[in-house]
Amino acid sequence: MLKNKVVIVTGAGGGIGKALAVQAAMAGACVVVNDIGVSLSGESDDLNAADKVVHEIEAAGGRAIASTHSVAEPGEAQKIIQTASEAFGRLDGVINNAGILRDTFFHKMSYENFDSVLKVHLYGSFNVSRAAAQLFKEQGSGAFVHMTSTSALIGNFGQANYMAAKMGIAALSKSIALDMERFGVKSNCIAPFAWSRMTSSLPTDTPEQIARVEKFKQMVPEKIAPLAISLLSGDDRAPSGQIFTVRNNEIMLMSQPRPVRSVHRSEGWTAETVLDHALPAMAAQFYPLERSEHVFTWDPI
């Protein structure tokens, strides 16, 4: 499905990114495997991670090239795009997957930990997408797939930085879809459920947490690839501006914010009438303080 196409996958040295890079190559794409070789927390880990994935792709008969440029810096992101153009002559798709975690409860979160996560996830997605946008505009085609998270779309403890970044990515994707539709460019998000470097940090302090982790281990990263490949395919049936969730063998379309209830008062509102009338009238539609595990209560299918 991706024959003769060139695809960039960021954060492709392991986990979901690696699975997407390998599967894209198996689908016929020439792949730029981007990874700077850091751990989940952003520290130096395996500086040869991208090369190892390239070797795996080439051993299977595919074509790939490594990039160790950082998505967090605009100039470095531009070099990722240049790597694709110089190695393969064009660019057709980008998967923005790179990320780090610096989890802590909000009242303990430092500016540095908030900033560093946004720099990689949100700014990284912007930097790479912005660098690719001109190429896509000129050729009149292209597709972005951005990784968001149900932690942001629904909620989670101790992840204000990650949630802010991933919710920002959903909005960024929608903006790209709207602004670049006229040029034949599509942009979508996937919130993946899969056992990876990101989810390997889940706590296992209680029997319930251990059971949750075991369920996650059933959801291998390769399950994300069919949807991502279809969204990069250039097929007219592929949508734009959507948010999907992949959970093992399930693909779900996620809702986007829309009005669910309104109240009106012809003479206008005071703070007292808001408390007496407006808020009670809407209370049945208020969203509870749920986390992802409260919404996805069934076992992976």
206 with 293: CB under 8 angstroms?
Answer: no
Lowest mean pLDDT of 16-20, 101-105, 199-203, name the range: 199-203
Mean pLDDT of all residues in the chain? Answer: 93
Number of domains the chain is built from: 1
pLDDT, tens digit (0-9, with 9 covering 90-100), for 123-168: 999 999 999 999 999 999 999 999 999 999 999 999 999 999 999 9
Residue of 198 and 80 predicted with greater confidence: 80
For the packed helices 124-139 and 74-88, what is the interaxial angle rounded to 10 degrees? 40
Catalytic residue among 111, 123, 162, 287: 162
Is the pLDDT reported for residue 44 higher than 60?
no
Q: With respect to residue 208, please indicate whether it lies within any of the assigned structural domains.
A: yes
Say which residue the tokens 């460019």 belong to. Answer: 185
What is the tally of helices (H) and strands (E) in the chain? 12, 8
Q: With respect to residue 250, please indicate whether it lies within any of the assigned structural domains.
A: yes
Q: With respect to residue 269, please indicate whether it lies within any of the assigned structural domains.
A: no
166 with 151: CB under 8 angstroms?
Answer: yes
**Alpha-carbon distance 19 to 7, whole Å?**
13
DSSP state letters, 168-201: HHHHHHHHHHHHHGGGTEEEEEEEEE--STTGGG
Residue of 58 and 206 predicted with greater confidence: 58
pLDDT score at 172:
98
31 with 71: CB under 8 angstroms?
Answer: no
287 catalytic, yes or no? no
Say which residue the tokens 């009005």 belong to. Answer: 259
The model's confidence at residue 41, banded by pLDDT at 50, 70 and 90, is: low
The pTM score is 0.91
* CA distances (Å), origin 75, targets 51, 105, 197, 207, 218: 22, 33, 27, 46, 39
**Alpha-carbon distance 124 to 174, whole Å?**
16
Q: Which tokens go with 1?
A: 């499905």
**Alpha-carbon distance 214 to 199, whole Å?**
11
SS3 61: coil
State which amino acid sits at residue 115. Answer: D
Q: Which tokens go with 297?
A: 């209560």
Backbone angles phi, psi at 233, to 5 degrees: -70, -25
Domain that residue 111 falls in: 6-256
pLDDT score at 202:
62
Beta strands 250-253 and 243-247, pairing class: antiparallel
Q: With respect to residue 279, please indicate whether it lies within any of the assigned structural domains.
A: no
Q: With respect to residue 131, please indicate whether it lies within any of the assigned structural domains.
A: yes
The model's confidence at residue 198, banded by pLDDT at 50, 70 and 90, is: low
Q: With respect to residue 289, please indicate whether it lies within any of the assigned structural domains.
A: no
Q: With respect to residue 299, please indicate whether it lies within any of the assigned structural domains.
A: no
- Centroid of chain to Cα 252: 15
CATH of the domain at 187: 3.40.50.720
Q: With respect to residue 271, please indicate whether it lies within any of the assigned structural domains.
A: no
